[in-house]
Amino acid sequence: MVIAIDGYSSTGKSSLAKRLANQFRFLYVDTGAMYRMVALKALREGWINSKNEINYKLLEKNLPSLNIGFRRSSDGKNMAFLDGEIVEKDIRTMEINDIVSKISSLSIVRSQLVAQQQKIAVGKDLVMDGRDIGTVVFPNADLKIFMQAEADIRTDRRLLELRSNGNLNVSFEEVKANLIQRDLDDQARSDSPLQKASDAVVLDNSEKSAEEVFKLVSSWVLEKINA
């Protein structure tokens, strides 16, 4: 069984996906973290400069050897690994936020990561969140959900996440501008843009708690399992 969760930044996609995976013992894959790890590698290795200009030759040459993956920490948290290094906090910064849309819009990056995501899922029950899961990665997913929320509420959530990871010098206005630009970039890209699958259930959680969302979606999953 495949559950595909798409939607805008900071709508709680990853938090929901993790809880569903734990509840139903499904594999969870954080596709957003995969793109963030590519962005971090690009920043570290000079594939993208301070002006967000990409060196396509370097990117194309080195991308196939990139080693990204996930492991569970001792307390059950999903940890992102890049070339053997834990980078969970490194990929959750404003610096990465500012370039990840540009990196993820590249067809060479998307094609490689989509292939990895599809390969991971073979023969497994899986929940995956991102922006093109129900439209491109798993168009035949058993359950498709498209999440959205008001911009100010999403900004508060992202600001809390950033500050919990040690990014204390970011403002509400800066984060909101980044989210809005990210939305525009994700929807405007030519390769696999952010859009709702025609058969996806829209879930606006602006006025819903994380617990309310989890209980609601869990009921949808159970309906599919028992169908």
Sheet containing 78-82: order of strands: 68-72, 78-82, 85-86
User: Which is it for the CA torsion 7, 11, 17, 18, positive or negative?
Assistant: positive
pTM: 0.80
**pLDDT tens-digit map of 160-212:** 988 888 878 889 999 999 999 989 988 988 888 899 999 999 999 999 999 99
- What gap in Å lies between CA 113 and CA 178, rounded to an integer? 24
**pLDDT tens-digit map of 4-14:** 999 999 999 98
pLDDT computed for residue 16 by the predictor: 95
Name the pLDDT band for 55 (thresholds 50, 70, 90): very high
**Domain 2-226 belongs in CATH node 3.40.50.740:** no
How far, in whole angstroms, is CA 171 from its chain's centroid? 22
Burial class for 5, CB neighbours closer than 10 Å (0-12, 13-18, 19+): buried
Average pLDDT over residues 39-53: 92
Average pLDDT over residues 82-100: 92
Query: Could you tell me which residue, 195 or 50, shows the higher pLDDT?
Result: 195
154: which 2 tokens? 């999403």
pLDDT computed for residue 76 by the predictor: 65
**pLDDT tens-digit map of 103-147:** 988 999 999 999 988 988 888 899 999 999 999 999 999 999 999
Q: Which amino acid appears at position 17 of this protein? A: A
Query: Could you tell me which residue, 165 or 219, shows the higher pLDDT?
Result: 219
